[in-house]
Structure 1
C-alpha cells in the first residue's frame, strides 16, 4: 500500500488586498465611530445594521460592471431548487443596502427615513498602497424628501463630525456643487453640432457617451489646469511623457461654457453663484441647480455655518455622473509629507450628494434621497499625520505572580483594580522566571506592575513598579536623579488602587 502523501501546512499569510488590525488600531477606529455616531444621533438619525450579503440583482447599478455580476465584487452563485439560481455578493457599499431596505420596509418606516450605518464593505478590485479590498464606511442618509434643508443638514453634520473627531476649524473645508449646474453647462456646449473627424454624434444615440467624455475631462482639471482642459476638450495635448492624448473635438466656443464653469469660483459664495449663472447660459436646469445652491447656503448661514467651513466649489466633479443634484466633499486643507518627503495636502476624507433614483429600481417610483459617507481610515491617517493621535496606547496594569499557591490573592487585586475602572490583568504565563513577567509587561506597554511575594504578603504591603517612569529614567537619568525619583516603591496593600490611580494620572 502506497504511503499517503502528507498534506502541506497552510501558509500563515493575509490574503492579497486585505490586512489585519491589532489593539490600538481597532480601539482608535471604534472610538472614532462612536464619536461620529454620537453626532449622527444628535441630528436625529437612527442606526441601521443591514446584511453584509446582498443579491447581485439588488446591488444593480451600484455594481462597477452590471454585465459581469462577479466583477468588482466578491460574488458567488447559489443553486437552490426552489428559488432557482441566484448571485449573491458581499456588499459593495452601504448605499445599495439602504435602497433595498427602504423599498422592503417602506410601509413600516417613517418618511423621511433618516438612518446612519457603519461597517466594512468589500470590493474585488486591484489592491495598491493604502487601497484595500475591505474597508470601513460610515454613512448617513435621508430618504424621502426633496427639501434642500436635508442637503444643508448633511453639510452641517459633516462639519460637526470632523470637529468632533479632532479636526479643528481651519484645517478642513466642505465643498459643495450641483449636478444640475453641470447639466446646464453641458446643454450650453451644444453637442449636437460638434465638429469631429469621426463625424458628429447622433444626438439621441451617442449623447451620453459624449457627455461622459466631457465629464472625464472636467475631472482632470486639478491635474492639468485650465489650458490642459481646453486642449483635451479640443484637439488634444501631450502628456508628461510626451505621448499625445486625443481630444474630444469641441470648438473654442463649445469649450467655453465648460471652462467658465470650472473657473467660476469667486472670492465668496455670492460671486461664485454669479459666475455660475453666466456659465449655464439660458439652461433652465442649470438655473435650477444654482437656486438649490443658493438655498443651501442661506440655510447654512442661518445656522452659522459660514464660508470658513462650507463653500461652493465648481471643481467638485467626482461622481457627478451618479448624483442627481447637490454634491459635497470634505477636504482636509493642511499639508503632510509624502513618502518622498514632498509636501502635499491631505485631500478628501468624505463625500456625498443627492441621488433621487435610489429606490426607483425596486418600486418604479422616484424617491428623493441625499447622504454622505465618511472615510474613517482616511480620517485616522490624517490625525496620525498631524500627530493628534497617541501612537502607543497604554496596556493593562500587570499583577505579577510570585507564588503560584496564592493565585486567589492576585486575582483579588485585579478585581479591585477593575472595579475601580482600571484596566488590569494577572500574568498567566509560566511565573518561574520573574524577568519574563516584566518583559511581558513591557511588551504589553503596561503602565505599572504589581509585585507581592511571600514576605510582602506577610507584612501587608505590595511593591509597585512604574514602568513608564522606569523606562524614562533608564534612558537619560543620572544616578542622583534615579535615587531621587525611584520607579519602584512599596505601599500598604490597602492603598493598591489609590497608588495605581496616582501613577496613571501622573502619566497622562
Structure 2
C-alpha cells in the first residue's frame, strides 16, 4: 500500500504587497491617531467604525462596471451559506472609508443627525500592483460632514486639519493648509471658452504647473512641447488668448488672501460660476480668520489643482514645508500629507437625492514618517519590567510582584520561559527593552528583600565606565519587598 505523500510545509512569508507591524510601529501609529481623534472630538465629530466588507454594489462608481466587478479590490461571490447573504452577490474589502460612509448615511438617514459629522480610522485594501512604498493594505484617517451645503463646513474642516497637525506635534511654520475651489476653475475654463471635450485635458496640463512652469503649461495648452527625452507631447489646441485666463488663474497667488482673491476675480472674468467660487473662498478666508487660523496656517492658493476632477467646490490639502534628506542625501520638501474637499453625489446613488458633503483624509503612514523625520516619533518604547524566576515553586510570589507593579501603573511581566539559565532571562529582558529586572532567590525571600537591577544604567556602565566607576554606582540595589514599587518608580521616573 502506497504511503501518503507529505504535504509541503507552507512558506512563512508575508503576501506580496502586505506587511507586518510590530510593537513600536503599532504604538506610534496608535498614539498619533489618538491625538488626531482628540482634536476631531473637540470639534464635535463622532467616531464611526464600519465593516471591512461591503457589497460591490455599495462600493459604487469607482469600480469597473460589469465584466470585472472585483478588479481593483479584493472581492468574492457569496455562496449558499445558511444565514449568509444571497448566493452570487459580490462582496469586497473596502478600498477607502468614504464609500462606507455613503452607505451609512443612506441606511441610517432617518436616525442620524443632519448634518452628520464623523471621523473614521482604519485599514483599507486595494488589489493593485504593489511597489516601493505602495502597499495593498494601508491605513486611512478621514473626517467628513454630510448634509451641509454651507462653506462654513469646509472652513471648519480646514481649521480642524490645522489643529490636528499641531496636535500630533507639527509646529506652526512647518505646515500649511492650502485651499482652492473647483468652481473658480470652472469659471476660468468658461472665460477661456474651453470646449467640454477639452476640459479634462486642460485639467491634466494644469496639474503639471509645479513641474514645467508657466511656459511649459502654455505650450501644453496650445501647440505642445518636447519632453526631457526629446519626445513630442501634443498640446490641447487652445489659442494663446484662450490660455491667458488659465495662466492668470495659476499665477493668481498674491501677497495675502485679499490680493489672491482679487486676482482670481480677474481671472474668471464675467463667469457666474467662477464668481461664486471666488465668493466661497472669501467666506472661508473670513471664517478661518474668525476662528484664529491665520494665513501662516491656512491660505488661499490657486496652485491646489489635484482632485479637481472629483471635487465640486472647495478643495484643500495640507503640506509640510520643512526639508528632509532623501535616500540620495539631497534636501527636499516633505510635501503633502492630507487632502480633501467638497463633493456631491455621496448618498445620491442610494436615495436619488443629492446630499452635500465635505471631508478630508490624512495619509497615516506619510504623516507618521514626517513625525519620525522631525524626531517627534520613533523614540524607543520602554518594555515591561521583567520579574525573573529563581525558584519554580515560588511562581505565586513572582506573580504577586508583577501584580503590585501593574496596580501602580507600571508595565510588568513575569518571565515564563525555562528559568534554568538565569543568563537567558536577562537576555530576554534585554530583547524586550526592559528598563528593570527584579530578582529574588530563596535567600532574599527569607530576608524579605528583592534585588532591583537597572538594566539601562547597567548597559551604560558596561559600555563607558571604568572598574572604579562601576563599583561606585552599581546598577543593582537591594530593597525591602515592601519598597519594590517605590524603587522601580524611582528608576524609571
Both proteins in one fold, TM over 0.5: yes
Residue 409 (structure 1) aligned with residue 397 (structure 2): yes
Report how far residue 324 of structure 1 moved: 0.7
Pairing partner for 2:118 from 111, 115, 137: 115
Q: Which runs of 5+ in 2 are unaligned?
A: none
Report how far residue 79 of structure 1 moved: 4.6
Report how far residue 471 of structure 1 moved: 1.2
Report how far residue 5 of structure 1 moved: 2.2
Question: Which segment is superposed worse, 484-493 or 265-274?
Answer: 484-493
Report how far residue 457 of structure 1 moved: 1.1
Counterpart residue number, 1:61? 61
Counterpart residue number, 1:368? 356
8 Å CA contact 1:350–1:374 kept in 2: the answer is yes
Q: Does the residue aligned with 1:437 lie in a helix, a strand or coil?
A: helix
Residue 73 (structure 1) aligned with residue 73 (structure 2): yes
8 Å CA contact 1:451–1:464 kept in 2: the answer is yes
Counterpart residue number, 1:160? 163
Q: Does the residue aligned with 1:85 lie in a helix, a strand or coil?
A: coil
Q: Which runs of 5+ in 1 are unaligned?
A: 193-206
Q: Does the residue aligned with 1:253 lie in a helix, a strand or coil?
A: helix
Distance 1:244 1:67 in 2: 35
Residue 482 (structure 1) aligned with residue 470 (structure 2): yes
Q: Where do 1:431-446 residues align within 5 Å?
A: 431-446=419-434
Distance 1:338 1:431 in 2: 47
Distance 1:77 1:189 in 2: 49
Report how far residue 425 of structure 1 moved: 0.4
Distance 1:16 1:66 in 2: 27
Report how far residue 211 of structure 1 moved: 1.2
Q: Where do 1:315-354 residues align within 5 Å?
A: 315-354=303-342
Distance 1:224 1:286 in 2: 26
Report how far residue 86 of structure 1 moved: 2.1
Pairing partner for 1:391 from 370, 376, 379: 379
Report how far residue 77 of structure 1 moved: 2.2
Q: Where do 1:88-237 residues align within 5 Å?
A: 88-192=91-195, 207=196, 209-237=197-225
Distance 1:151 1:318 in 2: 17
8 Å CA contact 1:65–1:72 kept in 2: the answer is no
Q: Where do 1:444-455 residues align within 5 Å?
A: 444-455=432-443
Counterpart residue number, 2:283? 295
Q: Does the residue aligned with 2:353 lie in a helix, a strand or coil?
A: coil
Residue 86 (structure 1) aligned with residue 89 (structure 2): yes
Pairing partner for 2:294 from 289, 295, 306: 306
Distance 2:316 2:183 in 1: 13
Question: Which segment is superposed worse, 141-150 or 66-75?
Answer: 66-75
Q: Does the residue aligned with 1:191 lie in a helix, a strand or coil?
A: coil
Distance 2:454 2:365 in 1: 34
Distance 1:136 1:64 in 2: 23
Q: Does the residue aligned with 2:306 lie in a helix, a strand or coil?
A: coil
Report how far residue 477 of structure 1 moved: 1.9
Distance 1:180 1:457 in 2: 78
1:102/1:186 CA distance change after superposition, 3 Å: same
Distance 1:83 1:5 in 2: 39
Question: Which segment is superposed worse, 212-221 or 396-405?
Answer: 212-221
Counterpart residue number, 2:370? 382
Q: Where do 1:14-33 residues align within 5 Å?
A: 14-33=14-33
Q: Give CA-to-partner distance per residue, 1:32-59, whole Å, 9 cap, x none.
A: 1111111111111111111111111111
Question: Which segment is superposed worse, 410-419 or 105-114?
Answer: 105-114
1:212/1:268 CA distance change after superposition, 3 Å: same
Q: Give CA-to-partner distance per residue, 1:251-293, whole Å, 9 cap, x none.
A: 1111111111111111111111111111111111011000000
Report how far residue 299 of structure 1 moved: 0.6
Q: Give CA-to-partner distance per residue, 1:287-344, whole Å, 9 cap, x none.
A: 1000000000101101111101000111111111111100110111111111111111
8 Å CA contact 2:28–2:378 kept in 1: the answer is no
Distance 1:436 1:84 in 2: 55
Counterpart residue number, 1:195? none
TM (norm. structure 1) is: 0.94
Distance 1:9 1:497 in 2: 47
Counterpart residue number, 2:9? 9
How many positions carry a matched residue from both structures?
Answer: 490
Question: Which segment is superposed worse, 177-186 or 225-234?
Answer: 225-234
Question: Which segment is superposed worse, 462-471 or 495-504?
Answer: 462-471
Cα root mean square deviation, aligned: 1.5
